[in-house]
Amino acid sequence: PRTTTTVTVAQPMSSQMSNTAPAQVAGRRMLPTDPRLHQIIGRAAAAKRKRRLADRLLPKTIREIIPESESYMELLEVEKKLDFVLMRKRLTLQEAMKRPFKPGQPSNNDAKYRRKFSSFFKSLVIELDRDLYGPDNHLVEWHRTPTTAETDGFQVKRRGDSNVRCTVLLMLDHQPPEYKLDPRLARILALHSGTRSQIFYALWSYIKTHKLQDPNEKDFINCDPYLEQVFNCPRMRFAEIPSRLVPLQQPPDPVVINHVITVEGDSPKTACYDIDVEVDDVYKTMVHSYLSSVQSNQELSAIDSKIHEFVEQINQMKVHREFYLEFSRDPQAFISRWLASQARDYWVMTDATPGHPEEERRAEFYHAPWTQEAVMRYFYNRVGLLRIIPGDPGQGIGMI
């Protein structure tokens, strides 16, 4: 009779899882064509600051001028509510990811994320009775290669008419790779196996707990009797730890299954074994991807920037409109007020003391005692200037 050995495994267990203010100087409006206005607007637009919801609101005066802007304000309210709902759901997902995984009934969607059986192993060896099948036919081996096609199981068939004992060796494919520790170091660290980073962290925790770091030379570790026995040195540099750990790390033991292939009866015999493996939680990865995409959505950021630019342009147009509207009502009075405002702005910007134009236009103003001192100061400054700018003395003194 023909006997059939089918290697299967149960479903792997998941691992635990503002409104822009009108451009003004000293509280007074400037002409839209004034260069200072464009400089102020340019600096404000180029400033990198956190955008707030208030920056996208349109002033009430604009909404009175443009009734259609109410639709924009309604959209802002809808966006505010939508942001609130998304934020609440995002926080719910973040809290759910912190809670331990609770196994339950698998959903129908799990099938498309289920990995193939062979993807969990680096190699598989089935050892049959050497006396029955000879030295050349008693071993069946499978080893992973870069071009390996994943499969849901392995099937091995051999002819025979009696029960056969077989040993199945399964070498798990750990990602990242795991190593078995030397028994002496494993007892010290209370860690049988782990990744390189886990082993290093366990050793560093042991060193900190027992205060083995040299207090004077922080780069050195003073080994206690247990570590000295393992590393064969009383003292070692911190940078030497990774290289000293390499000989103490060995490949992990394979999963060994001892099975008896029986030929009694007509129906096939089935045996199932559970093997715990660590796999990435697909749903956790999806949630992480979703949260990252929501927090760093460049398209939304670009749209928000455009909205802010449009709101700033609307506010600027409002300033221009008010300027020309006021000019159209009384051009003469407006120009007089504007010239006086620009004069005051000039004195503020140049940090100079404003004069009195009505007094300065009369000759008596220059007969005051201060004029003598002012003239002396003027010539003194011009003479000092000749020391820097060579030239004709007459031209230097007469230069204004």
Residue 359 tokens read as 């007094």
* 3 state DSSP class of 150: coil
Per residue in 42-84, pLDDT (tens digit) is 455 444 444 566 677 888 888 888 888 888 888 888 888 888 8
Task: Tell which phi-psi region holds residue 352, choosing left (phi > 0), alpha (psi between -120 and 50) or beta.
Answer: beta
User: Quick one: 235 and 384 in the same domain?
Assistant: no
Residues in CB range of 63: below 8 A, 6 or more apart = 69, 70, 73
Do 128 and 162 contact (CB within 8 A), yes or no?
A: no
Q: Is the pLDDT of residue 213 over 70?
A: yes
Work out the pLDDT band at 390, boundaries 50, 70, 90. Answer: low
176 preceded by a cis bond (ω within 30 of 0): yes
User: Quick one: 191 and 317 in the same domain?
Assistant: no
User: Quick one: 287 and 220 in the same domain?
Assistant: no
> Bigger pLDDT: 391 or 35?
391
CA nearest neighbour of 307 among 26, 39, 57:
57
Work out the pLDDT band at 295, boundaries 50, 70, 90. Answer: low
The count of domains in the chain is: 4
Average pLDDT of 183-204? 91
Q: Is the pLDDT of residue 232 over 80?
A: yes
Work out the pLDDT band at 352, boundaries 50, 70, 90. Answer: low
Work out the pLDDT band at 222, boundaries 50, 70, 90. Answer: very high
> Bigger pLDDT: 340 or 32?
340
CATH classification of the domain holding 238:
1.10.245.10
User: Quick one: 224 and 311 in the same domain?
Assistant: no
Q: How far is CA 236 from the centre of its chain?
A: 38
User: Quick one: 163 and 274 in the same domain?
Assistant: yes
Q: How far is CA 166 from the centre of its chain?
A: 52
User: Quick one: 140 and 196 in the same domain?
Assistant: no
> Bigger pLDDT: 246 or 386?
246
User: Quick one: 309 and 374 in the same domain?
Assistant: no
Average pLDDT of 364-388? 83
What is the rounded average pLDDT for all residues in the chain? 76
User: Quick one: 264 and 135 in the same domain?
Assistant: yes
Q: How much of the chain exceeds pLDDT 70, in percent? A: 74
- Residue 100 pLDDT: 61
- Residue 187 pLDDT: 93
Work out the pLDDT band at 5, boundaries 50, 70, 90. Answer: very low
In angstroms, rounded to a whole number, what is the distance separating the alpha carbons of residues 137 and 130? 8
Which pTM value belongs to this model?
A: 0.46
- Residue 248 pLDDT: 92
User: Quick one: 223 and 89 in the same domain?
Assistant: no
Work out the pLDDT band at 97, boundaries 50, 70, 90. Answer: low
Q: How much of the chain exceeds pLDDT 90, in percent? A: 12
Work out the pLDDT band at 185, boundaries 50, 70, 90. Answer: very high
User: Quick one: 128 and 257 in the same domain?
Assistant: yes
Residue 394 sits in which domain range? Answer: 358-400
Q: Is the pLDDT of residue 388 over 50?
A: yes
The values of phi and psi at residue 10, to 5°, are: -70, 170
User: Quick one: 189 and 331 in the same domain?
Assistant: no
Top mean pLDDT of 5-9, 33-37, 54-58, 229-233 is at 229-233
- Residue 302 pLDDT: 84
User: Quick one: 106 and 192 in the same domain?
Assistant: no
